Structure 1
Amino acid sequence: MSPQRRTFLRLAGLGAVTTLAGCSDPTEPGEDGSADAIAGVDNRPFVTHSGSPVRDGADTVGRAVLVDSEARERAVFDQYDAGERRDEFEDFLADLDYERERLLIAESVGPDACHDRLDVSNVRPVAGELRAEATVVDTGEDGTACAEVLTYPSAVVRISFEAGTAPADSAAVEMTDGWDETATISATVDDPLDPNLGSLEGSIRPEAEADPLEPLECGRSNVHRHPQAFDSENLRWGNFWHEGRVALGLRIDDTAYEYGDTTRIELTNVTDESVYTGNSAKYNVQAYTGDGWQDLRVAGEDQHFGYEDDAVEHPPGKGFEWSLGLTEAGITADTFHDHAEVCPDLAAGRYRFAFFGITDGAVAVAFDLRL
């Protein structure tokens, strides 16, 4: 059900920003002859992404996802980069019972940053199928200057069915985008969530929080530490978004290692078209310390951490793979910056690998090291 686009996604040149709204906007069922089968409907804004200022003519009006299980719910929240903010939906999702309820996520697109809300209404069952209407709303006031970027608002709807009524496993949403184009978007509980995202092997990061290490001090003169090459606010764990959908998935083969082990980290294009990024040398390897995330590598003051500015094409299902030996020598062995050294020595703690070969941010995985 992902929107189709003819053009390449040039992730080395465009970014995505995620915001989340948390207000509730109850929706009444439509006055359809079968509406009595619905016990209640509640909806609220979900996630809004912004992307390219140019709309591809192949863009669809929108997307819909129907959720019938906790596992699918978690996958959708992760796909929409909302997994870490589930506490903001705690009341909305409280006591959700998929034996008699469904979640419907609807997403559309608008021409600028003021088209940042998707209103869902007239939710009702028709012949065993959920029907609804969704419209992109311009929330800008008169005289407001709206950033000229495509904006992808979405909404999540909770539908409760009356006792004895089987919840619907299919839906049809009459969706109107920010250009007033309307189409009927269909969804079922069996639809794949993304071409390849669900099939990625590996993990993103440990579930438990970690205590910070002492700030990294090299103890040597005339060296400088590799800088963090991205703004922390623009880091995404595991999935990188572009134009309203996940474009790249980053996974690590485990979340805990012994000193001397080797990690395998893979970046994969999970769209159905080619994606461009920067080269594979553009990453930070960092420790979580009392001074925040610090790169492990240092170099002499006359040596620089420069990078070549080129673009690499990744066909669907393809990407980069890295292997890092978890020793002082292994971190820098056979790398672009082989003049660098790890200083101080590795310690037991939390580490992360952050690929910043994308514009205005990075995508990361994390792991724990045991000595």
Structure 2
Amino acid sequence: MAPTRRALLGSAALGVVGALAGCSGASDPQAESARPQTRGTEMDPTVVKPRNPSGESVLLDGSEANDENKPARIGRELVTSADRADELLVAEGVSDADRERVRSFLDETDYETETVYVSPAGVESCERLDIESVSWQPGRVEYEYCSELRPPDESCEADERVALALLFRLPAVLDARLTRTGASGHSPCRTTDTEYAVIDGNATVPGNETAIDTWGDDG
């Protein structure tokens, strides 16, 4: 005997309810928030800023280094695995403290859920950078910063520039390919946690925000 119209409508309704029940876990806000995001912004990013007083690169690429080949300097890069992190070398001119910070930072990164963005930078010897935010999406990373004087107990030389390496820990799993990076900054910092009150004649004068350090295409 052919099924009645009521029976067909009832079975269809049960099918819809079953489909919705099967998909309920996919829309769980907690599950979504726990997943690494492929794009986003951190206003207080996890970052280390080792410096090399000699002005030479802070990080070197040890993947092809041998007795005849010196390690090449590291440019802008997304570090996506522990194996790649192990290939990054810290230059000899970097302090032992900064050397240890870099190694610990790379070793403590969970590359199953995180990516490290590495970018070279430069700064006056008596200044330091405060990173205000970092934004990312596939193939693209940008950050914002301000600069301020270092504390008086930090040794520095006026009118000398030093090399920095900025290592950001991004809470996202990104492909290693980079097509565009950027940085924008201002000086001095508008707000600061600096506790010292004495600022000498080398103080940074206020300036306009300037977008710098952009390369690649918009792809």
Same fold flag (TM > 0.5): no
Which one has a larger percent strand, Structure 1 or Structure 2? Answer: 1
TM range (shorter): 0.3 to 0.5
Which structure has more RCO (C-alpha within 8 Å, separation ≥ 6)?
2
- Between structure 1 and structure 2, the one with the greater Rg is 2
**TM-score, with normalisation over the residues of structure 2?**
0.44
Which one has a larger percent helix, Structure 1 or Structure 2? Answer: 2
